[in-house]
Amino acid sequence: MIEVNGVNKAYGKKQVLQDIGFHVAQGEFFGIIGPNGSGKSTLLKLISALEPADTGAIKLDGRDARSYSRKELARWMAVLQQDALPPIGFKVREVIEMGRYPFQNWLGDEKDDSGAVIAKIMERLNLNALAERSLELLSGGERQRVALGKTMAQQPRLLLLDEPTTFLDIGYQVQMMDYVKRWQTEERLTVVAVLHDLNLAAQYCDRMLVLHEGRMVRIGAPHEMMTGELIHEVYGTMPTVISHPRSGIPQILLNPHNPAEEY
Write out pLDDT tens, residues 11-62.
Answer: 999 999 999 999 999 999 999 999 999 999 999 999 999 999 999 999 999 9
For β-strands 158-162 and 77-80, DSSP reports them as parallel
**How many domains, the chain?**
1
| pLDDT for the residue 87 | 61
User: What is the residue range of 31's domain?
Assistant: 2-262
- Cα–Cα distance for residue pair 77/252, rounded to 1 Å: 32
pLDDT at 126 over 80: yes
| pLDDT for the residue 32 | 98
| pLDDT for the residue 104 | 75
8 A C-beta contact, residue 189 and residue 158: yes
Strand order from edge to edge, sheet including 190-194 = 77-80, 158-162, 190-194, 29-33, 207-212, 215-220
What CATH number did the domain enclosing 144 receive? 3.40.50.300
Torsion of CA 32, 34, 37, 43, to 10 degrees: -20
Angle at 165 between CA 43 and CA 75, to 5 degrees: 55
Q: Summarize the confidence of residues 180-200 as an average pLDDT.
A: 95
| pLDDT for the residue 107 | 63
8 A C-beta contact, residue 39 and residue 211: yes
